Amino acid sequence: MRDRLILLPGWGLGVSPMEPLAAALQGLDEHLRVQVEPLPTLASSDLDEWLDELDATLADNAWLGGWSLGGMLASELAARRGDRCCGLLTLASNPCFVASDDWPSAMPGETFDTFLAGCHADSQMTLKRFGLLCAKGAQDPRGLARLLVSGAPNTPSSMLMAGLELLAQLDTREALQAFRGPQLHLFAGMDGLVPAEAASDLLRLLPDVEIGLIEQAGHAFLLEDPHGVAGAIQAFLHESHDD
């Protein structure tokens, strides 16, 4: 199914931020089947449980991609599937969302802990704050934040917390190094959640894959410029098909 691309969304905001990109991709290539699939609704932060659910529900032998947490999960699933995954693309997905000594280009641990505590106290307020962080760097950040949050599903706080706890522990570096298929990773220069330096750090880790930095954009660049992002993805897919 080299003509099927499955896209996974980020934390908390549901599938709606991905839909303009899916439509733009479909408009560029009528033969490409693009599916936006929701993340598992689990109250567990066990990575294997999330991957088991995705592996059981997502079509095999397809391209896998995702935004932020969705891209991290797509990376892990691509490594698990190996030759049963045509290729991988991630959008604003840091291999490690929370900083560590050997991956400093990420969100500081204390900032994340504050965010986690906020979600535990008031998940809906935290989701609004998250929307603002996603929209940081956009031309109309407040308008984009409202758009992001207005389409968010009504997810129980226990499941939102599980997703955040998963985000904190995920480290996709081994998975990215293990996956031998084509890879495209796009980052944003003004991202309020994933430092732009993560792009060059990832290039050092994976010198043979395609990594791009969209300078004047924030974390939600896929919603701000779906046609531009779709063009970059389509070029990558065609180049990979030609290899």
**Residue 219 a catalytic site member:** yes
Say what the pLDDT of residue 106 is.
Answer: 97
Q: How far apart are CA 237 and CA 232, in angstroms?
A: 9
Say what the pLDDT of residue 200 is.
Answer: 96
Long-range contacts of 112-118 (CB under 8 A, 24+ apart): 112/168, 115/164, 116/161, 116/164, 116/165, 116/168
Q: At what angle do helices 47-57 and 157-169 cross, to 10 degrees?
A: 110
DSSP string covering 198-238, please? HHHHHHHH-TTSEEEEETT--TTHHHH-HHHHHHHHHHHHH
Say what the pLDDT of residue 243 is.
Answer: 53
Number of folded domains in the chain? 1
**Residue 242 a catalytic site member:** no
Q: Which two tokens stand for residue 41?
A: 């609704």
Render pLDDT for 87-121 as a digit per residue (tens, 0 to 9). 999 999 999 999 999 999 999 999 999 999 999 99
Q: Which two tokens stand for residue 50?
A: 């999330």
Domain range for 208 is 4-242
Active-site entry in 68, 93, 123, 240: 68
Say what the pLDDT of residue 2 is.
Answer: 75
Active-site entry in 185, 201, 219, 225: 219
> In this structure, what CATH number is given to the domain that contains residue 53?
3.40.50.1820
Active-site entry in 191, 201, 225, 240: 191
Q: Which one-letter DSSP state was computed for residue 107? A: B
Task: Report residues of the chain scoring pLDDT below 70.
Answer: 1, 241-243
Give me the residue label for tokens 């598992």.
Answer: 40
**Residue 68 a catalytic site member:** yes
Give me the residue label for tokens 């010198």.
Answer: 207
Interacting residues of 34 by C-beta distance below 8 A, sequence separation 6+? 4, 5, 7, 22, 25, 26
Q: How far apart are CA 154 and CA 163, in angstroms?
A: 14
pTM over 0.85: yes
